[in-house]
Structure 1
């Protein structure tokens, strides 16, 4: 009798202890998962009242579906061996479906003449997780702007260096300094200064791509990491210069702070990276040296660590600005290089753009086309070229001898990927009344690195207009055989570098034969460019090439040659 009384008292004390424990959720379960005990702390942690939980099943209440099999196995083991398993951190579920991170301990209590019960004791880790997240935020993010701080910047910069190196490209570090920032604090107060910093952070973030990193590393200094800009240092420098100019323009837009209109100005120092051996700290130091040089002179707000590169970029920037006015100032013209058949009869021409500047003279397309692509002016140039070529083709078609003369027009990837490109082409065809059967668009292989489904759709819509499609530089870049079979092409063009090595044992000769055989099997016209000797012409004819282009048949000219 005394023994039973003692057990009752012990049980009462145990229940009292468990019921009053606010810091620890305690639940009791039968071997099948039925809930037999649920304290007040469990109600708060998981959202179920004791009345709702008692008699329900563990797996219906708090166990996520993806954990169910493992938990069933663990529960079965505990009841079989009548002992607990090691404590662990688990993510269980709340009544509303949200995650509940807990530190969970388990034991099995087996009393004489009573069924064993598994007790789970769960400590709520949500507050701890929030605290850890806050610590992480303080460690890696700037509290004022929400941008990455120096610690996170160094991690991201190291990753950008590795990614850029793998792609054999060049990246850039832009160090941005707010000019006379202290004057905002001194004249308008620290709240206004904070508004200026948040404004700058937003402007830089708006100009950043998804792959870029934006950070605040000092009181008034920000960093923008541009990864994988280009495979060429000169092109990467041009792109970085354009991005920096856009950034300065964005930052300088008027900002209203406490009824004051402020204009914020900044300076930018730029360094570049291209190999995994580049050290993050040194890159930042180089950008800082470039920034200091900018501060010492007043001619520009953008400076480069490499002075030779800076001079080259300055020249490219001047060309970029001049290119904006080249159309209006009638500095551009089209020239045409003949394309002939195996009997050297004129079939078509390739239209080539030329630029003569009054100060710089004749500028090579190899120089100004990349500049146009980097600055975005390629869309305007491409539209002008397309219009001139269609007008010229229409004029030629009025001559019975030239009625079917084809014209190949180079279309840049940026131009082709413009969603409005097909509509623009349709409008030009209608306006010029040119025969679309005489028009062929030449597309380069690097276009294939883009959305292949969209590319195929664009090609199909162009072919519906009557335009034919040629793939230029096949075998030099991105186009695989799998892609090639998807593309509604009419022509493959053998790159001049293969023609140049036609008589050497190696890749060039093999690829030339392969391209010709592949094109013929797909019923595509094969044209070889860069044909300069009779030996090359005869060898290409023997291999089955059908159309030829090169200095052997005529140089690019604004008049048509007489081909015998």
Structure 2
């Protein structure tokens, strides 16, 4: 196989069959001799800016000519195919680079080198049609010799894939004709070239209103699309997704529009009759088809999809509102649910979430966010050994806000989550400094750390800086991580734990028994204790299987020389049973509720006296 990057190699047009397929693909795009389009001009402008070149071109290779769809800094509309640098690019799988055309034997006598535009530097990447045939190129051109490093090649490749995506939008999506009509009792949906998703849906809504039709707006997310794209290159992934979308369109005449909204999200419009429940059943049926195996280009794959929906005209009259409400419904669905239908209660919940986020900013500053301290006792002698720090929030406008409501919400907001975690660490370390000054054996303080913070590279350094500022050892600080937060990266977990151990901090697995309960957590991670989830503990006096599960967890931990903490002990019977099992520590309402700092401080002083 010849390499067109080799200056001794001249490109051929390939076999007659190959060239026929290539030109058929080009003809199918229906793009030759069309007018300028901003969606392509934008990419060319961006390429020229990024690579600081006077010229950037998007061109297509016809039978005997090179025609330019987008041209920045270039006066010609087309050149002969024989003069085209891009004919080499078509045969090259990667980015094709000529650092100095004036000394390259393939180009030094080229009219575009010896005359206008006096090309010296050239870098191009082939543009492929929906089935993978090379139809043109995106290139940048300079008047002076220069290099083109690997990072630049990757950026040019990404820009070329963007061009391919724009081409696919014109072929794979429902039409590009400037019409939307009502024919034979069914809405016919086609789109203007360059029209945005929202503009097109708004036009559909207008036609639906005149025809007295009802529409369902479906917000569908492919949850495993990132994993799919890790395995397959961008071009194959894009073509596979195009086939998947085409399958959905071809099987559903009432799916009058579907388009890609973001990296993993798609928007569909369904023309339906009947009740809201009928629309939901129809969306469920479509989603069931979406999770069927797709086969294309030697790839077999099943997309995992979830969805939310809104209805026109019931829920709104504009595309922006309907898409947003479908997205809101989607965000509230629970795993395994049907397609989530928007309801007014979802809107109210969304408004409250927005208000909570806004008010939380104030709470961090005005003291309305504070902490309670829940005591942890040793089962031998019922001695106080430590506290778990628990966030509390009383808002002047909202009243008491449950941690079950605000913690999950804040955990999704990086800046607020970090502020809450660092506030907790600062509070704990400051109090440890006080106790170390006044007591010989201060209690431990445990803090629950979200995995998203624990895995940040700078987290151990931030903790160390707080300890240094208060001149406190980390020996009495315990960080609790749930099983689920350990799952994403086992190696990263172990590394971060080792860094924290170096400054004296101990780690505990929290809520053990509620999820995966992997033995590897106990055997391979540098943890100091295991906290058994209250869902297990609170059933041990009611169900034999929970008693046996609790005992097996305790025995498993003891086999690794790890002490255990029973969470959520609420009755004397539960306390007696966990003690009987030789569980070392207890935390729960039976021995102590979460309490303000003054009460916790008094409890420490009482034990010390």
The TM-score bracket by the shorter chain reads 0.5 to 0.7
Query: Is residue 25 of structure 2 the alignment partner of residue 130 of structure 1?
Result: no
Name the structure 1 match of 2:287.
278
- Separation in structure 2 between the aligned mates of residue 307 and residue 348 of structure 1, nearest angstrom: 45
- Separation in structure 1 between the aligned mates of residue 200 and residue 131 of structure 2, nearest angstrom: 27
- Separation in structure 2 between the aligned mates of residue 398 and residue 101 of structure 1, nearest angstrom: 84
SS at structure 2 position matched to 1:368: helix
- Separation in structure 2 between the aligned mates of residue 508 and residue 274 of structure 1, nearest angstrom: 41
Q: Aligned match of 1:516 in 516, 536, 554?
A: 554
- Separation in structure 1 between the aligned mates of residue 525 and residue 504 of structure 2, nearest angstrom: 16
SS at structure 1 position matched to 2:565: strand
Name the structure 2 match of 1:453.
491
- Separation in structure 1 between the aligned mates of residue 319 and residue 433 of structure 2, nearest angstrom: 58
Report the Cα offset of residue 329 of structure 1: 2.2
Query: Is residue 411 of structure 2 the alignment partner of residue 373 of structure 1?
Result: yes
Runs of 5+ unmatched residues, structure 2: 30-128, 133-160, 175-195, 204-224, 230-237, 250-254, 268-279, 291-305, 327-341
Paired residues of 2:376 and 2:384 also in contact (CA < 8 A): yes
Q: Aligned match of 1:399 in 434, 438, 442?
A: 438
With normalisation by structure 2, the TM-score equals 0.51
Name the structure 2 match of 1:530.
568
SS at structure 2 position matched to 1:177: helix
Q: Aligned match of 1:490 in 528, 543, 556?
A: 528
SS at structure 1 position matched to 2:365: coil
Runs of 5+ unmatched residues, structure 1: 1-45, 49-93, 103-122, 155-174, 183-207, 229-239, 241-270
Name the structure 1 match of 2:325.
303
- Separation in structure 2 between the aligned mates of residue 181 and residue 276 of structure 1, nearest angstrom: 25
Paired residues of 2:513 and 2:536 also in contact (CA < 8 A): no
SS at structure 2 position matched to 1:146: helix
Report the Cα offset of residue 325 of structure 1: 2.5
- Separation in structure 2 between the aligned mates of residue 526 and residue 99 of structure 1, nearest angstrom: 71
Report the Cα offset of residue 272 of structure 1: 13
| CA RMSD, 1 decimal | 4.7
Assess, with a 3 A threshold, how the Cα gap between structure 1 residues 380 and 302 changes in structure 2: closer, same or farther: same
Paired residues of 1:139 and 1:151 also in contact (CA < 8 A): no
| Larger Rg belongs to | 1
Query: Is residue 337 of structure 2 the alignment partner of residue 316 of structure 1?
Result: no
- Separation in structure 1 between the aligned mates of residue 309 and residue 559 of structure 2, nearest angstrom: 55
Query: Is residue 512 of structure 2 the alignment partner of residue 474 of structure 1?
Result: yes
- Separation in structure 1 between the aligned mates of residue 417 and residue 519 of structure 2, nearest angstrom: 29
SS at structure 1 position matched to 2:372: strand
- Separation in structure 1 between the aligned mates of residue 519 and residue 594 of structure 2, nearest angstrom: 32
Alignment of 1:46-445 (within 5 A): 124-131=16-23, 135=28, 137=129, 146=166, 149=169, 177=198, 223-224=260-261, 278=287, 286-287=309-310, 289=312, 293=316, 295=318, 302-304=324-326, 305-342=342-379, 343-376=381-414, 377-400=416-439, 403-445=441-483
Assess, with a 3 A threshold, how the Cα gap between structure 1 residues 128 and 286 changes in structure 2: closer, same or farther: farther
Worse-superposed segment, 428-437 or 144-153:
144-153
1:48-77 per-position Cα deviation (integer Å, ceiling 9, x unaligned)? 9xxxxxxxxxxxxxxxxxxxxxxxxxxxxx
SS at structure 1 position matched to 2:370: strand
- Separation in structure 2 between the aligned mates of residue 295 and residue 546 of structure 1, nearest angstrom: 61
- Separation in structure 1 between the aligned mates of residue 460 and residue 501 of structure 2, nearest angstrom: 10
Name the structure 1 match of 2:69.
none
- Separation in structure 1 between the aligned mates of residue 404 and residue 308 of structure 2, nearest angstrom: 34
Paired residues of 1:499 and 1:529 also in contact (CA < 8 A): yes
Report the Cα offset of residue 485 of structure 1: 1.5
- Separation in structure 1 between the aligned mates of residue 284 and residue 10 of structure 2, nearest angstrom: 45
Assess, with a 3 A threshold, how the Cα gap between structure 1 residues 332 and 284 changes in structure 2: closer, same or farther: closer
Report the Cα offset of residue 476 of structure 1: 1.6
- Separation in structure 2 between the aligned mates of residue 152 and residue 450 of structure 1, nearest angstrom: 36
Report the Cα offset of residue 505 of structure 1: 3.2
Report the Cα offset of residue 472 of structure 1: 0.2
- Separation in structure 2 between the aligned mates of residue 494 and residue 274 of structure 1, nearest angstrom: 41
Paired residues of 1:408 and 1:442 also in contact (CA < 8 A): yes
SS at structure 1 position matched to 2:536: helix
Paired residues of 1:494 and 1:528 also in contact (CA < 8 A): yes
SS at structure 2 position matched to 1:325: helix
- Separation in structure 2 between the aligned mates of residue 447 and residue 273 of structure 1, nearest angstrom: 37
Assess, with a 3 A threshold, how the Cα gap between structure 1 residues 130 and 296 changes in structure 2: closer, same or farther: closer
- Separation in structure 2 between the aligned mates of residue 518 and residue 339 of structure 1, nearest angstrom: 22
Report the Cα offset of residue 556 of structure 1: 0.3
Name the structure 2 match of 1:203.
none
Q: What is the aligned residue count?
A: 367
1:318-361 per-position Cα deviation (integer Å, ceiling 9, x unaligned)? 11222222211221111100000112110100000101111111
- Separation in structure 1 between the aligned mates of residue 483 and residue 308 of structure 2, nearest angstrom: 39
SS at structure 2 position matched to 1:424: helix
Assess, with a 3 A threshold, how the Cα gap between structure 1 residues 223 and 407 changes in structure 2: closer, same or farther: same
- Separation in structure 2 between the aligned mates of residue 131 and residue 291 of structure 1, nearest angstrom: 48
Paired residues of 1:448 and 1:479 also in contact (CA < 8 A): no
Paired residues of 2:530 and 2:564 also in contact (CA < 8 A): yes
1:264-322 per-position Cα deviation (integer Å, ceiling 9, x unaligned)? xxxxxxx99997773689x9994573897163999x99434333212211111211222
